[in-house]
Structure 1
Amino acid sequence: MEDAEDKSEAGQKDDAGAKSTDTMDIDASSKSTVKAKKGKIIKRRGKKSSIVFPKFVLLVAANLLVPIALYIFGTGFFPYKPLLPGLAVYGESEYGFPPAAPFDRVVFMVVDALRSDFVYSPRSGFEYTQSLIRNGVALPFTAHATSPTVTMPRIKAITTGSIPSFLDVILNIDEGDETSSLASQDTWLAQMKAKNSGKLLLYGDDTWLKLFPSFFDRADGTSSFFVADFTEVDNNVTRHIPGELDNDDWNTMVLHFLGLDHIGHKGGPRSTNMLPKQIEMDGIVKQIYTAIESNAHLQSTLLILLGDHGMNDAGNHGGSAPGETSPALVFISPKLANLRRSFQAPLDFQDDFKYYSVVEQSDLAPTLAALLGFPTPRNNLGAFIQDFLPFWSSDTDRLQILMRNAEQILAIVTATFGTEMFHSSTGSEPCSQTGTEVEELACRWRRLKDAATNMGTKQVESNEAWTVQMLEWLRDAQGLMSSMASNYDIPRLVIGHIAAILATLLSLVAAYQNVGVISTAAVPLTLITSAYGVMMFASSYVEEEHHFWYYTTTTWLAYLSWRGFNGTSKSRVGHLAAVLVASVTLRIIKGWNQTGQKFAGNPDIVKLILNPQPGLLWTLISIAYLWLHRELLQGFDGFPSSITVAGSTGLILVAFTFKLAFTNEDAPELVAGFARSLLDISGDVSLFIRAQAVFVGLAVAASGVIYLILAKKRTSTRVSAVETLHHLYTLLAITQSRATNVPLFLLFDILFKFVAAQSLTLTELTITSLLLQYASFFALGGTNAISSIDLSSAYNGVRDFDVVAVGILTFVSNWAAPVYWATATNVLLVRKSKLVGEKAVFGRHVTLLTVFTAASVAFVMAACAALRTHLFIWTVFSPKYLYCAAWTIGQHLVVNVGLGGVLYWLGRY
């Protein structure tokens, strides 16, 4: 898509586009050309004035329809599952009264992100816990956690025994949300409360308080998102333990420690802080177990040590990598010695993180029901863990435990598939070999039910065979119900998809009217959009999406470079040098962070070069801040020199010292050599005050630039005001980025200067901006997995949780590079607009971006709907849908349209 202005502009052979419009000199012929253009534009507008309003309406309608489509489709794709209301009660049973429970109280110790190897491997700091396993008073498992592996849905699975909604990924971030409450659902906590045998206590992650409002009689919650805190967040839990162990008025104590998870987010599983934290948690286990042994009122107490999820090699979680789905689970009590089970500990490191027996996290609910003496929660899909059956010596008791568990799951199965096939009399009719999975399950149930009725006349060997068959039936029923993806609202999926397609069509019509006649200029954007859309239907391509953007960006810049050899006023040698520098720069950017899923742990520049050499890292970081200092000095040289130097220098020093102090808390091993000396000089000031100083300084500087723009005064004689705002944003971006990613912004500036030096048409500039936005997102380590969301800088300058402030900071942290290219693009758009004397440049740019955005949303929706029964629907395609929503609403609407529109207007003011 290319209009008359673009065609004539492409033929110009000056490099004015690479210079600031404030100092641009246009020769007489250029001025006359621009005047002639203006005359044509005015004339053309006069002829087509009737369509100016409709094309604006079409563009607005398309951009409004896209978020509406996302909402409608999302509410059909991520619905809340209907649940059976009320609490389960022990009903009349042909098997007699429920068997006696061996325990009367529980200490539920959750260590967030406690991956199995953290407890069971030789590198573990849980030496005391391993000694309990060897002595037979601790029973170890690996508890499989289904995706999404984030805290809220995992707690739901652990307490209800059911499969939580994927939408809980979003609710997990909003600490103010109360719609996800479990107050009205049947959980083992509700059952313990209903027993009325003691109080419920909670110390730790306040997610429990949100899920169970008014449940706990004594509680002290801590925020789970202050990930820079490794110490106080756990000390706040530990300080309550001694006193509560002396009390005898409780039956449930939930402890949720967050420090280990925070260390993972900040430094990964191999962080130097990881082993000391494991030793600290092992000490808590020893403290509690010693109290259980020595205090009479605690002798029937069960201690459960577990992780809600694990972590991957980067220290994050949310996806389905083996490390993320394999948390440890250990049952601890002196009474377990009666089971006469002991295990070797530690075990050799396991690549798949599967140590000992593997159970589902949902199996906790029915197992606790039998061990603590309450009915299995009504919505449970878990199966009783058979290792605990020896607690009951009576075959009748064992039979009853399994039958009650099976009948509870059967109620859910029959509510889904009907009751007839499960309860009809079949006599001796054999099961069909060609029946469906449900029919086979029903047939096996009838046989097990009949056998249980006659169990009293059978031999012990037959009872054992029946037990094995019943445990297999429970697993198969669990697998069947768990594999049912969701109760999708198909009409909403259809309506949402239609809305996205309509938005795409509206944007195409607007593009035709806004940009001009369809020509060869439309081919690259069409190919990019089509290839991207097709790629969404393959899980491997979604996981490795960065390769698409890296390859496409490289190819596109190579095309621009080749085209630049023709028709430019520059020497071919100079242009070749620029091309080589840009090519090397792009290659370095692509190798900076290894991303995706398959090769996430492979070597990259950060792992191989920067982490082992912190001196080199801080040299590059210092150069980045000095480069920004130079840019700000130029950007504010319209002010008195004393104000310019003092203000720019002060702002850079505050930002640099904050980065030093933050990295010292985040990854202290990276602060070494001269960086450590500089940190000592900067004094002992809190991170909160340092971050606030940076944000206030940026706000004051940006306000000053905007004021001078509105007052029609110059901020600089060398660079435009919008460029100064762009550099101020760059300072914000590196403030919100990890230290190892700060040098990337130096490389981005090299690419920016290369792009600015090219004589690009509007369509080419838009395509370049689009490609660099996506490629840079992945270059900073982004992926399509929930686990790659970086929360390390989400609380910079924030004391308490605020969903707006934390949301903005989280977005800037993860989309720092795409926003950089959005602001950089507007610098070039303002230059182009002033060069050609046309104000509608930004509108045409947004129109082309809207075409891609609306089409990509439609493609992602189509892939999610078509593959809704796919094995990877919740691990690959659902996270991609959430990322698509973030790109659409956050990057496109808020940044490209909203922020970009403000910058463009200020640049044209």
Structure 2
Amino acid sequence: MAKSARASSKKFNNQRKAASVFAPTENARAERLSAKLLELAKQPKPESSDVNMNTEDDDLQVEITTRDDNDTAMEVDASTKTTKPRRSGRVIAKSKHKKSKMVFQNLANILVPISILIFAIGFFPYKPFLPGLAEYESLEIGPPPSGPFDKLVFMVVDALRSPLNRRTGQLTSDCSDFVFSENSGFEFTQSLIRDGSAVPFTANARSPTVTMPRIKSITTGSIPSFVDLILNFDEADTSSTLSAQDTWLAQLKARGMGKLLMFGDDTWLKLFPDTFDRTDGTTSFFVSDFTEVDNNVTRNIAGELENNDWGLMVLHYLGLDHIGHKSGPRSPNMVPKQQEMDGIVQTLFEAIESKNHLKSTLLVICGDHGMNDAGNHGASSPGETSPALLFISPKMKAISSGLSAPATPKDDFEYYSKVEQSDLAPTIAALLGFPVSKNNLGAFIPAFLSFWPSARDRVQILMRNAKQILGIVTAAFGDELFDPESMSDPCFLEPTDINTLACQWRCISQKARSVADARHIDAEWLSETSTWLRRAQDLMSAMASNYDIPKLLLGLALASVSMLLSISSTVSRGYHWNSDAVPLLLIALSYGIMMFASSFVEEEHHFWYWSCTLWLAYLGSRQVAKTRRISLFGWSLVALAALRIMRSWNQTGQKYAGEPDIVKIFLLPYPELLWILVAATYGIISFNILASLDGLPYVISTGLSSFLVSAAFSFKLAFTAEDAPELVVGFAKAVYDMFQGQTLLFRARLVFALISITAVWAIYRSIVGGPRASRTSAYLFHYLYTLLALTQSRATNIPILLLSSLLFNFLQSSNLSIPQITTSSILLQHATFFAFGGSNAISSIDLSSAYNGISSFNVIAVGFLTLISNWSGPIFWTSAANLLLMKKAHEGQKDVFRQHITLLTAFTAASIAFVMAACTALRTHLFIWTVFSPKYLYCMAWGLGQHLLINVGFGGLLYWLSSR
């Protein structure tokens, strides 16, 4: 009672004190407030356009708090100068500023594809060609000679090269041979070389070493455009046809030398529509098959050898190339496939020997390109540019006494005399007796001049070839220097390449008549003419393409504008993270400078590996110093160790391609270790998917995750059993036997269907389930993509995604700013691209999984699967970055994804601009077509595919779903 009395007394005293002390002040404030309200009421109302209620503006954060009644309205004083119209003006200015930044960012991303395509049009133009068929022109030295052959069997064994260990110069015991060396499966072919029935050469296939450009070079004698490299990957393309160009196929058809037959790679049917009379085409991109694809060719041979109505039979075998893509040149399937091809050579040769209507048939065997030590092609390594070439016929014994076989290489892959692959065109033309193609840059192979004993005939063959190439030379340089009546004598001018060529032409053309009339051929003149042909060929082949300089500069300018717009948007945002963006600026500048050195372009992976190592070490030390948490130090060591292992997983680049790496040293010899890692990766993914299916009953979520992962794992086992059966041993073989019975097509479609169904459910949950469901679904999307990446990756690369998950856990444990997230994403996207075996060479493109779940060619489906197969690592980090950004958004940061994309666009535009500048400045460089052109193609893929489609499109979709 006493306490209650005291409290009541104290309360009464306070009330009395407040009434006597504070009441006058309260009354005065109330009077001033009333006067102020009356004054505001008399002012004009603001326009509706001045009112901005956009609560999402990150530059204007409105904070609503609850205050005591005593605090309300007491701040209004006569000295207060703030008015509502003034604040409204600031809101309008900030809104306009935000909109301008959004316009800058959108415009920068729009300019990225525009600049890329304009530059590509100027850098990779279609080369002009002379239309119509060549005709024999009248020469003073007489009519053209007839050829010793009247039929041609042209057999292409895709990727047929001569293998050699580049580092040691020695054949290794486990290295399967292709044609000429000791371990070859071509034993019968080598016997033909020894007895003189076959004349062998090592051809030089210029880059790009893929099928379509090489067939163009073989049939026209010209140097193909790099545009053909892009068209080579589109099975449905018909724009690259040679139907309007002069080729030896067109010459054969025009002269009625018999029907034209084609069996094998349907690239020939695309290049020569309506040319062949009987065909049986096979697609070239089902690289999983190397049996039926060749049986479909061989089944036509026996019947056609009995027919006498054809003049040309083209046989294009794909199996050996497919084995290379799947398992490399040391695959256990390689020698049996060579023996199969050797048996076909034997069948053809014995038919030519025994059948009267085939007595004058020439059999040409060649590879369209070779392959590197990884089994791929498209670049310019010696293995890729050195396919085998053989001319076979019993008539060859008249000009050849035989050569040693197997042979010892003189240089990298050079077993016999080296010729240009384009030399096939004029040589075939002469041997079959028709004019050389108008656009030919090839030189007749002098070894076959012995078929014509007459000096006049030999002069005819060389001079007609020389005059045809002279027409191309004079079209490029003018004819004044080559005109014997010209007042300017090139022999007395500065000894440039063209002046030297013109001087030599005058000499050989003046001697031609006297040499033709002589009883014996002048060996010196023959040598001089052959040298002139080769010089002219080298000059025209090495000439810079007909670049469209204005388009190159326009593309470069637009890329630079895109870069400046992105930087402007970045700098003007005012988010106070400029210091965190400095490392990204340094990376972009270093990368740009590096693009001007061909060696650095070829070995680009080292830049990303070391940059990533330094970056992770920097993040780890910074986080440890800031938080003093020992666990972060442990995660830093784990991350650095994971990155170090990842760097050594696959040897890439040019200098050390095919050298020992983790896959070759540990996984291929010990497949049990491989499947332990693979099973662990699938197991972790299964638990992660299960944890992310919290919106479903436990029984359903457990069954779905188990069924989904089991279907994916069984597909990978079955795929590997077809792809590399030597890897499916032990418990992997036992599990594979349990799941036998379904085709790979069905298995792949089942996996894709289950992933799609689960993704649709996750989308539904994101839209209707609220913030928590959106966050859970974001992780489910990430794990579903990881499972898709596992499906599209080679079995030996699957553990890289396990290592990537460890790196992601380190980044999750660190409190990163948005620029740090973006920098980490860029570095790890590029590092994992190279860790998976990627490079800046076309030969590193992996097509082994491009047809998973597809029964026929579809450009969109194949393109999508090829993108996933080759960019599985970078796409993983796009998804992982979304999870890190989602975390920042849930911490209360505004405009998170836009900040991220602004920085990504700035880096992408800068890298594109630097690559364009390098290609423009170095367009006459020796390695422009072998190094810088492929680099620009990859630049296109990174800019259009990875940045716009994946980072902006796919990443934006993921962020939108996760932030609902």
**TM-score interval w.r.t. the shorter chain?**
over 0.9
Match of 1:39 in 2: 63
1:148-201 deviation per Cα after TM superposition (whole angstroms, max 9, x unaligned): 000000000000000000111100001111111000000000001111121000
Match of 2:808 in 1: 752
Match of 1:146 among 206, 229, 234: 206
Match of 1:851 among 895, 906, 914: 906
Whether the aligned pair in 2 keeps the contact of 1:633 and 1:644 (CA below 8 Å) is yes
**Paired residue secondary structure (1:598):** coil
Match of 2:146 in 1: 100
Q: Percent identity?
A: 58
Whether the aligned pair in 1 keeps the contact of 2:201 and 2:415 (CA below 8 Å) is yes
User: Measured at CA, do residues 349 and 648 of structure 1 come closer, stay the same or move farther in structure 2, by a change above 3 Å?
Assistant: farther
Match of 1:339 in 2: 399
1:728-776 deviation per Cα after TM superposition (whole angstroms, max 9, x unaligned): 0000001000100111111111110100110111111111111111111
Whether the aligned pair in 2 keeps the contact of 1:638 and 1:714 (CA below 8 Å) is no
Whether the aligned pair in 2 keeps the contact of 1:515 and 1:844 (CA below 8 Å) is no
Code of the aligned partner of 2:304:
E
Q: For 1:180 and 1:270, locate their aligned partners in 2 and report how far apart those are by CA, in whole Å.
A: 34
Q: For 1:496 and 1:714, locate their aligned partners in 2 and report how far apart those are by CA, in whole Å.
A: 43
Q: For 1:868 and 1:638, locate their aligned partners in 2 and report how far apart those are by CA, in whole Å.
A: 58
Whether the aligned pair in 2 keeps the contact of 1:639 and 1:715 (CA below 8 Å) is no
Match of 1:13 in 2: none
1:691-734 deviation per Cα after TM superposition (whole angstroms, max 9, x unaligned): 000000000000011111112268869x6210110000000001
Moved more, 156-165 or 520-529: 520-529
**What does residue range 569-648 of structure 1 map to in structure 2 within 5 Å?**
571=629, 573-648=630-705
**Paired residue secondary structure (1:120):** coil
Match of 1:15 in 2: none
**Paired residue secondary structure (1:129):** helix
Match of 1:14 in 2: none
1:14-35 deviation per Cα after TM superposition (whole angstroms, max 9, x unaligned): xxxxxxxxxxxxxxxxxxxx99
Match of 1:497 in 2: 556
**What does residue range 195-594 of structure 1 map to in structure 2 within 5 Å?**
195-348=255-408, 352-425=412-485, 431-432=491-492, 434-456=494-516, 458=518, 460=520, 463-514=522-573, 516=575, 519-568=578-627, 571=629, 573-594=630-651
1:417-474 deviation per Cα after TM superposition (whole angstroms, max 9, x unaligned): 111110133799782273321111111111111111222554636x221111111111
Code of the aligned partner of 2:466:
A
User: Measured at CA, do residues 456 and 775 of structure 1 come closer, stay the same or move farther in structure 2, by a change above 3 Å?
Assistant: closer
Moved more, 232-241 or 575-584: 575-584
Whether the aligned pair in 2 keeps the contact of 1:310 and 1:325 (CA below 8 Å) is yes
Whether the aligned pair in 2 keeps the contact of 1:126 and 1:278 (CA below 8 Å) is yes
Q: For 1:550 and 1:530, locate their aligned partners in 2 and report how far apart those are by CA, in whole Å.
A: 17
1:722 and 2:796 correspond = no
Q: For 1:794 and 1:529, locate their aligned partners in 2 and report how far apart those are by CA, in whole Å.
A: 32
Whether the aligned pair in 2 keeps the contact of 1:150 and 1:172 (CA below 8 Å) is yes
User: Measured at CA, do residues 715 and 641 of structure 1 come closer, stay the same or move farther in structure 2, by a change above 3 Å?
Assistant: farther
Match of 1:777 among 816, 833, 842: 833
**What does residue range 841-880 of structure 1 map to in structure 2 within 5 Å?**
841-880=896-935
Q: For 1:489 and 1:713, locate their aligned partners in 2 and report how far apart those are by CA, in whole Å.
A: 54
Q: For 1:99 and 1:511, locate their aligned partners in 2 and report how far apart those are by CA, in whole Å.
A: 72
1:860-898 deviation per Cα after TM superposition (whole angstroms, max 9, x unaligned): 000000000001101110011010110111111111110
1:895 and 2:929 correspond = no
Match of 1:174 in 2: 234
Code of the aligned partner of 2:449:
L
1:597-640 deviation per Cα after TM superposition (whole angstroms, max 9, x unaligned): 11112211111101110001001100000001100110112201
User: Measured at CA, do residues 257 and 537 of structure 1 come closer, stay the same or move farther in structure 2, by a change above 3 Å?
Assistant: same
Match of 1:680 among 728, 737, 740: 737
Code of the aligned partner of 2:485:
S
Q: For 1:98 and 1:593, locate their aligned partners in 2 and report how far apart those are by CA, in whole Å.
A: 56
Q: For 1:849 and 1:217, locate their aligned partners in 2 and report how far apart those are by CA, in whole Å.
A: 54
1:761 and 2:817 correspond = yes
Q: For 1:576 and 1:37, locate their aligned partners in 2 and report how far apart those are by CA, in whole Å.
A: 37
User: Measured at CA, do residues 581 and 170 of structure 1 come closer, stay the same or move farther in structure 2, by a change above 3 Å?
Assistant: same
Match of 1:655 among 700, 704, 712: 712
**Paired residue secondary structure (2:683):** helix
Q: How far is the alpha carbon of 1:646 from its aligned partner?
A: 1.0
Match of 1:49 among 81, 89, 95: 95
Q: How far is the alpha carbon of 1:57 from its aligned partner?
A: 1.0
Q: For 1:514 and 1:220, locate their aligned partners in 2 and report how far apart those are by CA, in whole Å.
A: 62
Q: How far is the alpha carbon of 1:837 from its aligned partner?
A: 4.8
Q: For 2:771 and 2:546, locate their aligned partners in 1 and report how far apart those are by CA, in whole Å.
A: 60
Q: For 2:246 and 2:915, locate their aligned partners in 1 and report how far apart those are by CA, in whole Å.
A: 36
1:547-604 deviation per Cα after TM superposition (whole angstroms, max 9, x unaligned): 1111111111111111112232x63x32222221111111111111111111112211
User: Measured at CA, do residues 91 and 492 of structure 1 come closer, stay the same or move farther in structure 2, by a change above 3 Å?
Assistant: same
Whether the aligned pair in 1 keeps the contact of 2:459 and 2:516 (CA below 8 Å) is no
Moved more, 594-603 or 847-856: 594-603
1:47-86 deviation per Cα after TM superposition (whole angstroms, max 9, x unaligned): 5111121111111110010110000000000001111111
Whether the aligned pair in 2 keeps the contact of 1:222 and 1:233 (CA below 8 Å) is yes
Whether the aligned pair in 1 keeps the contact of 2:490 and 2:500 (CA below 8 Å) is no
Structure 1's unaligned 5+ residue stretches are: 1-33
1:243-267 deviation per Cα after TM superposition (whole angstroms, max 9, x unaligned): 0000100000000000000000000
Q: How far is the alpha carbon of 1:242 from its aligned partner?
A: 0.3
Match of 2:892 in 1: 836
Q: How far is the alpha carbon of 1:37 from its aligned partner?
A: 6.7
Code of the aligned partner of 1:661:
A
Over the aligned positions, Cα root-mean-square deviation in angstroms equals 1.9
Q: How far is the alpha carbon of 1:275 from its aligned partner?
A: 0.2
Whether the aligned pair in 1 keeps the contact of 2:481 and 2:488 (CA below 8 Å) is no
1:87 and 2:154 correspond = no
Question: Higher relative CO (CA 8 A, sep ≥ 6), structure 1 or 2?
Answer: 1
Code of the aligned partner of 1:341:
S
1:280-299 deviation per Cα after TM superposition (whole angstroms, max 9, x unaligned): 00000000111111111000
1:792 and 2:848 correspond = yes
User: Measured at CA, do residues 426 and 485 of structure 1 come closer, stay the same or move farther in structure 2, by a change above 3 Å?
Assistant: closer
Code of the aligned partner of 1:419:
D
1:490-534 deviation per Cα after TM superposition (whole angstroms, max 9, x unaligned): 011011111111111111111123353573223111101100000
Q: For 1:105 and 1:315, locate their aligned partners in 2 and report how far apart those are by CA, in whole Å.
A: 34
Code of the aligned partner of 1:534:
I
Whether the aligned pair in 2 keeps the contact of 1:833 and 1:841 (CA below 8 Å) is yes
Whether the aligned pair in 2 keeps the contact of 1:514 and 1:843 (CA below 8 Å) is no
Q: How far is the alpha carbon of 1:302 from its aligned partner?
A: 0.3
Q: For 1:270 and 1:238, locate their aligned partners in 2 and report how far apart those are by CA, in whole Å.
A: 24
Code of the aligned partner of 1:625:
Y
TM-score, normalised with respect to structure 1: 0.94
**Paired residue secondary structure (1:162):** coil
Q: For 1:350 and 1:608, locate their aligned partners in 2 and report how far apart those are by CA, in whole Å.
A: 30
Q: For 2:255 and 2:516, locate their aligned partners in 1 and report how far apart those are by CA, in whole Å.
A: 31
User: Measured at CA, do residues 40 and 148 of structure 1 come closer, stay the same or move farther in structure 2, by a change above 3 Å?
Assistant: farther
Code of the aligned partner of 1:479:
D
Q: How far is the alpha carbon of 1:40 from its aligned partner?
A: 11
1:667 and 2:667 correspond = no
Structure 2's unaligned 5+ residue stretches are: 1-57, 66-86, 164-177
Whether the aligned pair in 1 keeps the contact of 2:632 and 2:814 (CA below 8 Å) is no
Code of the aligned partner of 2:955:
G
**Paired residue secondary structure (1:305):** strand
Code of the aligned partner of 1:908:
S
User: Measured at CA, do residues 171 and 515 of structure 1 come closer, stay the same or move farther in structure 2, by a change above 3 Å?
Assistant: farther
Structure 1 stretches (4+) deviating beyond 4 angstroms?
34-38, 40-47, 426-430, 456-459, 713-717
Q: For 2:476 and 2:486, locate their aligned partners in 1 and report how far apart those are by CA, in whole Å.
A: 21
Code of the aligned partner of 1:407:
K
